[in-house]
Amino acid sequence: MPLPVAHGLLGASVAAALRQSSQSRQWRPLWIRAFLGVCPDFDYVLNWLQISGGGWHHGFTHSILFALLLGMIAASVFGEKKVRSVILYSAATVSHTLLDFLMTESRGVALWWPFTDHRYKLSLPNPIDYTWSNVSLWQATVDVLRISLIELMIFAPILLLVVLVRRLLAKHSVAA
Ligand SMILES: [Zn+2]
């Protein structure tokens, strides 16, 4: 199950790929969209609070509709009234849903909530070993840090590559 490092970097990568050339040197929108890429996992809070007995993870916050709604809310909070902004914020959020759909080892994500509660997953071979120790809090922390570092090594180059390509394209279009 991907951790916040992978989700944040992927959300930022999607946003960097889709944003307008005029924004290619602005980092603040990327941080916001990286945060949106992590948001669906705040359903853990509902589990910790034991609301309705738990079992919320990978539920409604991992649906396409939730990503669209969050995109609309984010665009209105930041005063951006363009459809393009809603698409950008939604895409950053839905990248989380799709990565979990591809990589989760759980029973799947509720992609099409509220139309169906069925959980979907692809169960592709996972390139990262997401098992961590239950022996002690220290050992679990070490394992989570190790996994986060591996995610950083995989997903940070993707973000850097997207940013670099967008800058080259922006330069090219200015020169043309
Ligand atoms: Zn998730």
Provide mean pLDDT across the span 1-17: 93
What the block records as the tokens of 140 is: 């679990």
SS (H, E, C) 19-81: CCHHHCCCCHHHHHHHHHHHHHHHHHHHHHCCHHHCCCCCCHHHCHHHHHHHHHHHHHHCCCC
* Gap from CA of 39 to ligand 1 centroid (Å): 8
**Ligand 1 midpoint to CA 145 (Å):** 18
Ligand 1 centroid, distance to 33 Cα (angstroms): 15
Q: What is the mean pLDDT of residues 143-171?
A: 93
Provide the whole-model pTM: 0.87
Q: In sequence order, what are the beta bridge partners of 120?
A: 109
172 vs 22, which has greater pLDDT?
Answer: 172
Segment 130-141 shows an average pLDDT of 90
pLDDT tens-digit readout, 60-83: 999 999 999 999 999 999 888 889
With contact defined as beta carbons under 8 Å apart, do 21 and 166 qualify? yes
Residue 176 scores a pLDDT above 70: no
- Rounded to 10 deg, the angle between the 64-77 and 28-38 helix axes is 150
CA 111 to ligand 1 centroid distance, Å: 11
β-bridge mates for residue 109, sequence order? 120
Ligand 1 centroid to residue 41 C-alpha, Å: 5
How far, in Å, is the centroid of ligand 1 from the Cα of 167? Answer: 30
Alpha carbon of 58 to ligand 1 centroid (Å): 6
Distance of CA 49 to the CA centre of its chain: 23
Cα(172) to centroid of ligand 1, in Å? 37
> Average per-residue pLDDT in the chain?
90
Residue 112 in tokens:
């099409």
Residue 92 pLDDT > 90:
yes
Cα 146 to middle of ligand 1, angstroms: 19
| 99: pLDDT strictly greater than 80 | yes
Distance 96 CA to ligand 1 centre (A): 6
